Amino acid sequence: MNQDAMKKAAAEAAIEYVEPEMIVGIGTGSTANHFIDLLAKIKGKIDGTVASSEASAERLRGHGIPVMDLNQAGDLSLYVDGADESNKHLHLIKGGGGALTREKIVAGASEKFICIADETKLVSVLGKFPLPVEVIPMAQSFVARQLVKFGGTPELRAGFTTDNGNIILDVHNLEIMQPEKLETQINMIPGVVTVGIFAHRPADVLILGGESGVRTITA
């Protein structure tokens, strides 16, 4: 089974969590795209969705699935999204697709966060995947200098602008031993919009597609 088939298997398992009349929070990326495509088959069952990116909103609308504004929708019962890395505590690194800020907002507004991924995303220590940090453009150099103090090597994601009009610094060479602490510390740097560590609001359920089927880990 290839990695994409594993992602699709995880997305299929997540569909089971969708209940009638829900407004479902939708993540961003190739795994979330599988979920969107599967959701299209049961779109009559739900009241609508809230998207974590313009790209996901476009894909949802393409399937004729209603996309609502979070301010209109209020708190959500379910959010489904992928991740770049997860540890066994379901602390995540997200933002490989650059949608980390809106993803963190929708995750925060949701009662249950189901993370869907292929099994290669489960790691013992977060940080091998370069940590995305969304930054206000004028603060790029200042924030980069602060990130170096945490032992990382920040690199500007070239030619990329977030849906919020900001830049991304991808921080290489981190070994994140205390995800909650580092999330707080990086979020406190002036000019940082969001860091892609999801530890204060981890996933509630991690569904991993793998060679031997689908595995579910709960927090």
Among 29, 130, 179, 202, binds ligand 5RP (CB under 6 A): 29
Q: Does 98 bind ligand 5RP (CB under 6 A)?
A: yes
Contact predicate 122/86, CB 8 Å = yes
Dist. CA 183–CA 169, nearest whole Å: 15
Q: Does 6 bind ligand 5RP (CB under 6 A)?
A: no
Nearer to ligand 5RP, 78 or 83 (CB): 83
Q: Which stretch binds ligand 5RP (CB under 6 A): 75-83, 151-159, 160-168, 203-211?
A: 75-83
* Minimum distance of ligand 5RP from residue 210's CB (angstroms): 14
Among 97, 127, 202, 209, binds ligand 5RP (CB under 6 A): 97
Q: Which stretch binds ligand 5RP (CB under 6 A): 38-46, 79-87, 166-174, 202-210?
A: 79-87
CA-angle at 21, arms to 20 and 25, nearest 5°: 100
Nearer to ligand 5RP, 28 or 166 (CB): 28
Nearer to ligand 5RP, 95 or 202 (CB): 95
Dist. CA 29–CA 55, nearest whole Å: 9
Say which amino acid occupies 164: N
Beta-ladder partners of 208: 117, 215
Coil, strand or helix at 72:
helix
Q: Does 50 bind ligand 5RP (CB under 6 A)?
A: no
Which residues lie below 8 Å from residue 1, measured CB to CB, with a gap of 6+?
A: 9, 209, 210, 211
Burial of 67 (0-12, 13-18, 19+ CB in 10 A): middle
Residue 219's CB: how many other CB atoms inside 10 A? 12
Among 27, 127, 179, 202, binds ligand 5RP (CB under 6 A): 27
- Annotated active-site residue 103? The verdict is yes
Which residues lie below 8 Å from residue 18, measured CB to CB, with a gap of 6+?
A: 24, 39, 42, 45, 46, 78
Say which amino acid occupies 7: K
Among 59, 91, 94, 157, binds ligand 5RP (CB under 6 A): 94
Nearer to ligand 5RP, 17 or 142 (CB): 17
Residues 104-163 that bind ligand 5RP (CB under 6 A): none
Question: Which one is catalytic: 103, 119, 175, 180?
Answer: 103
List, by residue number, the catalytic residues: 103
